[in-house]
Copies of this chain bind each other. A is one copy, B any other.
Amino acid sequence: MTLRIAVLGTGLMGAPMAANLLEAGHRVTVWNRTRAKTEPLVARGAHAAQSPEQAAAEADAIVTMLESGPVVTSVLFDSGAAESLSPGALVIDMSSIPPATARDHATRLEASGAAHLDAPVSGGTVGAEAGSLAIMVGGRREDFDRAKDIFAALGRATLVGPHGAGQIAKLANQIIVGVTIGAVAEALLLAAAAGADPAAVREALRGGHAESRILEQHGQRMIDRAFLPGGRGQIHLKDMNTIVEAARDASIELPLSEATRELFQELVDGGGGDYDHSALLLALERRNAPARVGAAPDKLPARTPD
């Protein structure tokens, strides 16, 4: 079924997602704070809206892909978008934001007759372009079913619970990714410090129980000392902070997540916020100087001006 879909936020993730929705035959209206980022999509057949309010007024569904909870709140509720929604319209927030904020958005939208799904993703720009994102969805089953055609154009969606549960699943994802990066960093640093060849160790471990996407991809970046993002250190720190808060809200203590949060904090404090999150190795090495994985010089991204 052809739907009228507004995409709010056409950055690194939102732009390829909007392109895939166009490709699937939907009628797509786009809005972005920096207008220029919508132009390539307009050239491919999208309509450009002047404001979130204007985009929302014409849509069956709104897809938001924005950088933080406060930005989502502002775009949905301070811009007039929520008020201009058609009755029964569906807001699908694919941004990664705190579960409590997502639940608050759902409550406010349902009070005004609209519906809400929190649907953050894993898979990065590669997954966004390929339409192969892992999509973790919180909300009502009937809304999840209504969104099926939209999700089908973007990746593989799983309903994981009520409002906010999608964001919780994303935090679970970030725990595993962050802590496993730390595990691979510790394994390779021990190998180097104790006299084995870290590259050969990584190679020897593949295909065994230690096998993972992280050993495969981030482990290779550590061996090459190539810390170009990828996923940025300061984004992962933001997520680890949200994880520690969510754990506190749920009255639980997560020792490995907390220790990993510390290491990400040290990475960012040491100037590595724009490095790939595999650069967690650098924070571990700073604690353990002069131990080091390999002799190659670091490949780092150019410093972003403040």
Query: CB distance B196 to A168 under 8 Å?
Result: yes
A18 shortest CB reach to chain B, Å: 21
Secondary structure at the A interface, as helix, strand, loop or mixed, is: helix
In Å, the complex CA distance between A204 and B137 comes to 9
Contact residues, A146-186 vs B (CB, 8 A): 156, 158-162, 164-165, 168-169, 171-173, 175-177, 179-180, 182-184, 186
Size bracket of the A interface:
35 or more
Nearest chain B residue, comparing its CB with the CB of A287: B253
- Of B176, B190, B253, the contact of A183 (CB 8 Å cutoff): B176
Query: CB distance A187 to B175 under 8 Å?
Result: yes
Query: CB distance B172 to A179 under 8 Å?
Result: no
In Å, the complex CA distance between A159 and B159 comes to 45
A99: chain B residues at CB < 8 Å are 194
Mask of A7-25 contacts with B, CB within 8 angstroms, 1/0: 0000000000000000000
In Å, the complex CA distance between A137 and B196 comes to 10
Stretch of A71-79, A254-262, A267-275 on the interface side = A254-262
Query: CB distance A207 to B173 under 8 Å?
Result: no
Query: CB distance A168 to B190 under 8 Å?
Result: yes
Query: CB distance A256 to B169 under 8 Å?
Result: no
The 7 A-B residue pairs with the shortest CB-CB distance in the complex, in nearest-first order:
A212-B212, A179-B183, A122-B208, A158-B204, A134-B208, A172-B187, A165-B196
Interchain Cβ contacts under 8 Å between A and B, 9 examples:
A160-B196, A165-B196, A172-B190, A172-B205, A177-B210, A179-B180, A186-B257, A193-B252, A253-B287
